[in-house]
Every structure is written in C-alpha cells, then in structure tokens.
C-alpha cells in the first residue's frame, strides 16, 4: 500500500501485481445534494488521518439504460451522495516524477455512465508511463437541465472542478499538471468540445482526444427551456429548482428516461429544438455553435467510428425494417436533398438497404462531419477513423458507436465488452490504437501527419490491412455537407 498527500488530506492506495498503484473514490468536490444541489460544485471537506482509497466511490444518480442497450453498454451504479469523485492510476506515486496525465470523461448521452465502470479501468495507461484519471460528473436533470436562478451546465462545472483539483494535487501522484490530456467518448467528447471554448477551463488541459463527439451537440437556451417545461409537465410540478428538488430521485430518474424516449419517438424540432435531431434532451447549453479556431492552445486528436449509427439501428432491429420513405425523410431532416445526396451514398454501397444508407448519412451528421469541422478549425489537429467491424448480430453491428473503447483502453478481455466485441478481437489493433493515444499524451503526435484541407490525412484503424493513414476518405460524401453541417 502507498500513501499520497492531497490538499484535503492523505490517501492510501493499492499496488497491483503489475506495479501500478491505484487510488479510487477520492472526492474532488462536496456532495451535490441538500443546499448544494443544482449549484456550482463546492470544495470537498478536508479529513484527518489517512483515507483509504481502495474502492470506487458513489456514482451520480442515473436510470439504467433501456433495453436492449443495457446489455451492450457497460456501466455501474454505487449508491451514496459523495459522488463527485475521481480515480487515479499511477506507475510512480511520488512528487517529482513529472509524468504526463490523461483524464477520461465518460460517455452516456449526459444521462448515464460513470468513471468507475470496469470498462474504464485505466491501469493500462499507467502501465505505459502515464498517470491516468477517471471521474464522475452530474448527469441528467442535476447536471444539465436549465433551471431559473441556477447555473447552466453543472456537469461541465463538475469536470472543471475535477481538472482544478488535479492541477493542485496530481504532482503528489507523479503527474505533471502542465502535461494534461483530456480524452472522452460520445458525451465525454462533446463535453471536451464545450470545454475547448469555455474560459474557466483554459489552461487546465493542454491536449485533448475527442472520440465520437466534437462541438456540434448542444442545446440553445430556448430549446433547453422546452425540455425543462416538458419534464416538469410529466412530473406534474412547476419548472422551478425548488419543485425539482422535492421530487424523490426514484421518481425523477425513470421520468428522465421516459422523456428521452419521447424525444426519439417524435423528433419534432418545434417541441424539442436541437434535441429532436441530437436525440438527447440533456446536453450542454450554449447560445450557438462555437469552434475554437486557429488560436486554440490545445493539441487535438479527433475521430469517429465508421458505422456509428448502427448501435442505434441494429439492436433495435431497425436496420432492415427502415423504409425508403423514412430514409428520405431523415436525410432531409439532416439538411441534405435526398435526390442529390442518396445517389452519392449509394454509389459506394450499391446493395445497401435503406437502413444501411441511413447509418452512413446519420454517422456523418452526428460524428464524422463535426470531427472534420473541428479539425479544419484548428490547424495541426490529427484525425482518425475506427473501422474494425464487430462480428456480433451476424456481423451487422459493424464499426458501431463505442466499439473503439476496449481498444483504446487495451481491455479486450474485460467481460463487460464481450456483448459488443464477440470472440477473438484483434489485439494488434488494440496495441496500435492504445499506443497512439499514449504517444499523443507524451509527445503531442499520435504517429501520423496532421489533418489539413489539402491532403485530409486520416488514420484508418482497422485490422485488415493494418492501420495506415489514408487521404480524404469518402470525399464525395464529405462534400455533400459543405455549407450544411
């Protein structure tokens, strides 16, 4: 066992057989309940003596994923109010080691997930010389619902508070506060997209990896008001913080989940604003799309999976049930002219069903084009695409959303990933992808040339052939979105 100091008190961690020391469940902010609920995170209370940090702490309240996603996407729930906590893995738990730091922001549509799922055990990063951190932040109503008289984006404020805690304490665990890389997937990457242009986050991280999310997913204030009003209506309360505080969590959380299902069932922009297409009623609230631009002082690695949207089409059995008319309607809703765009997508997929074409169009709208726009905004950024296809669901799951996670974390044998990975995922691909993330955190380069508007170099992470950079993949489809997304 090893003891490290923090400004709140000393913590005791556990050393693994591989020589990695973990410190779990360290509070970076006070419990966000009682008088602190719906406000900015407050500093954690100090303690005396040495605090054991050998077990994960409580997770923020959230409802379970709805079927069938509950069987596919790993997460856990640990009860307790002291849920704003973080976990640290380090190969050198001593001041002065000066190691780079990687901080993980989990996904989950801003309503699910935590930093303590076994899927996010970051020991492999520490094994390879990086101090690694995972954390919790407030979700759903508590983290992102717009409430009068309360700060917006409380979940983002939690993330900023955690980064400040790390700035002040990570040296004790062997980390260098001036070499911090944040990385995240889905909602975690979208959080990073917001943090890149948030003044309060400036200087707290120096590199960022955005997996399947960038800057395009947010709610305008007017849309956030619509979400608040509808959630209050479903609960039978006034849309005030006091009224939401009075709703017991066992009653609030299922209604949150019902609200998301309602948005997805009737994606009407007049009812939901941006949430109608984003499919998420809880998101960062921002007045408009903001990209960091060429003066961004953060190195960026950005990317997506080749068939992201299949996660939402295949397990729900919509992939082969979707009609041509629905495909055309959705394509138009995303801003493209179906008569012009669909022949371009069909040209490289001549046997594709309407559902398979919707996967291609929606993957571009949700993930690929926002990644490209961010890379175009910040010269010197690196771009990737993950295209290894899962054998699950008779091979139709493809390179879907979240499939890259076990490769990034080098945890192909974690049982929680098995429903998506299937048998015998390629370890060589995990070595390549995990290695690129390590290289980027250490040096600022993942090992290929930066993206630019001429060559548009994109690393293709696939098992056959081996990963290699390609030039402007699917250029004809990319060009459809010029001036649209």
Gap between the Cα atoms of 15 and 291, Å rounded: 42
Token pair for residue 295? 């003066």
CA distance 341 to 364: 12
Q: What was the pLDDT predicted at 74?
A: 81
Specify the CATH number of the domain 2-63+80-211.
3.40.50.1820
Bond from prior residue into 341 cis (ω within 30 degrees of 0):
no
Same fold, 2-63+80-211 and 304-480: yes
pLDDT digits (tens, 9 = 90+) for 204-263: 999 999 999 999 999 999 999 999 999 999 999 999 999 999 999 999 999 999 999 999
Orientation angle between helical segments 338-347 and 324-333, nearest 10 degrees: 110
Q: For position 75, what pLDDT does the model report? A: 85
Strands 2-5 and 21-27: unpaired
Distance between CA atoms of residues 390 and 382, nearest Å: 25
Q: Tokens standing for 382?
A: 């690196």
Give burial (CB, 10 Å; 0-12/13-18/19+) of 36.
middle
Q: How far is CA 409 from CA 28, 73, 260, 436, in A?
A: 23, 15, 29, 11
The string of pLDDT tens digits covering residues 375-393 is 999 999 999 999 999 999 9
Nearest to 437 by CA among 317, 315, 299, 323: 299
Which residue blocks in 236-284 are alpha helix, DSSP H? 241-245, 249-265, 269-272, 275-278
pLDDT on residue 382: 99
Which burial class, exposed, middle or buried, applies to 55 when counting CB atoms under 10 A from its CB (0-12, 13-18, 19+)? Answer: exposed
Residue 166's nearest CA partner among 97, 91, 92, 88 is: 88
Residue positions annotated with a catalytic role: 186, 308, 401
The set of residues, in sequence order, having a beta carbon less than 8 Å from that of 248 and lying 6+ positions away, is: none
Spatial separation of the C-alpha atoms in residues 268 and 423, rounded to whole Å: 40
The CATH number, out of the four listed (3.40.50.11780, 3.40.50.970, 3.40.50.1820, 2.120.10.30), of the domain defined by the range 304-480? 3.40.50.1820
Closest residue by Cα to residue 400 from 366, 373, 434:
366
Orientation angle between helical segments 354-363 and 338-347, nearest 10 degrees: 100
Q: Give the residue carrying structure tokens 């395009």.
A: 216
- Residue with the two structure tokens 């046997």: 351
pLDDT of residue 334: 97
Separation CA 347–CA 349 (nearest Å) = 6
Interatomic CA distance for residues 207 and 185, integer angstroms:
15
Minimal CA–CA distance to 369: which of 297, 444, 289? 289
- Taking CA 373 as the corner, what is the angle to CA 370 and CA 376, rounded to the nearest 5 degrees? 150
Q: What is the widest separation between alpha-carbon atoms in the chain?
A: 69
Looking at residue 445, its pLDDT comes to: 98
Q: Which residues of the chain fall short of a pLDDT of 50?
A: none
β strands within 239-355, DSSP E: 299-305
CA distance 133 to 350: 45
Give the Cα separation of 169 and 156 in Å (integer): 20
Q: What is the pLDDT of residue 82?
A: 98
Give the whole-angstrom CA distance, residue 425 versus residue 91: 27
Q: 3: helix, coil or strand?
A: strand
* Tokens describing residue 478: 């990319």
List residues bridging with 337 in a β-sheet: none
Residue 144 per-residue DSSP state: H
pLDDT of residue 318: 95
| Angle value at C-alpha 108, between 210 and 229, nearest 5 degrees | 115
Question: Domain residues of the chain, as ranges?
Answer: 2-63+80-211, 221-278, 304-480
């Amino acid at each position: 066992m090893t003891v490290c100091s923090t400004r709140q008190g000393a913590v005791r961690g556990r050393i693994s057989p591989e020589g990695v020391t973990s410190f779990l469940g360290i509070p970076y902010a006070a419990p966000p309940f009682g008088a602190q609920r719906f406000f900015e995170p407050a500093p954690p209370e100090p303690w005396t003596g040495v605090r054991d940090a050998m077990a994960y702490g409580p997770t923020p309240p959230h409802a379970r994923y709805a079927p069938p996603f509950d069987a596919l996407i790993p997460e856990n729930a640990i009860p307790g109010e002291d849920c704003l906590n973080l976990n640290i893995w380090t190969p050198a738990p001593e001041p002065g080691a000066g190691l780079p730091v990687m901080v993980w922001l989990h996904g989950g549509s801003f309503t699910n997930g935590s930093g303590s799922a076994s899927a996010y055990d970051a020991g492999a990063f520490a094994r390879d010389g990086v101090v690694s951190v995972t954390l919790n932040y407030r979700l759903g109503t508590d983290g992102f619902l717009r409430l009068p008289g309360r700060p917006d984006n409380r979940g983002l404020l939690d993330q900023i508070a955690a980064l400040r805690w790390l700035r002040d304490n990570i040296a004790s665990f062997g980390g260098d506060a001036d070499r911090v890389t944040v990385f995240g997937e889905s909602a975690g990457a979208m959080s990073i997209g917001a943090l890149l242009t948030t003044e309060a986050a400036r200087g707290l991280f120096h590199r960022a990896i955005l997996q399947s999310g960038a800057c395009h997913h947010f709610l305008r204030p007017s849309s956030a008001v619509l979400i608040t009003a509808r959630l209050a209506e479903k609960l039978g309360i006034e849309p005030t913080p006091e009224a939401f505080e009075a709703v017991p969590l066992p009653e609030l959380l299922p209604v949150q989940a019902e609200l998301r299902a309602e948005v997805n069932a009737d994606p009407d922009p007049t009812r939901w604003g941006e949430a109608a297409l984003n499919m998420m009623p809880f998101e960062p609230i921002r007045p408009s799309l903001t990209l960091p631009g060429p003066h961004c002082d953060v190195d960026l690695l950005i990317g997506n999976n080749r068939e992201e949207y299949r996660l939402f089409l295949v397990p729900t059995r919509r992939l082969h049930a979707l009609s041509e008319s629905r495909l055309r309607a959705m394509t138009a809703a995303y801003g493209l002219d179906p008569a012009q765009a669909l022949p371009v997508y069909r040209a490289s997929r001549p046997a594709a069903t309407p559902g398979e074409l919707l996967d291609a169009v929606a993957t571009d709208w949700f993930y690929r084009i926002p990644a490209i726009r961010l890379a175009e905004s910040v010269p010197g950024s690196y771009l990737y695409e993950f295209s290894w296809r899962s054998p699950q669901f008779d091979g139709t799951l493809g390179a879907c959303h979240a499939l890259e996670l076990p490769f990034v974390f080098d945890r192909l044998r974690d049982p929680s990933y098995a429903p998506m990975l299937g048998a015998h995922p390629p370890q060589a691909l995990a070595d390549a992808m995990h290695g690129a993330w390590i290289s980027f955190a250490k040096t600022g380069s993942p090992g290929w040339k930066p993206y630019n508007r001429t060559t548009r170099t994109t690393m293709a992470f696939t098992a056959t052939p081996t990963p290699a950079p390609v030039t402007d993949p699917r250029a004809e489809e990319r060009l459809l979105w010029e001036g649209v997304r």
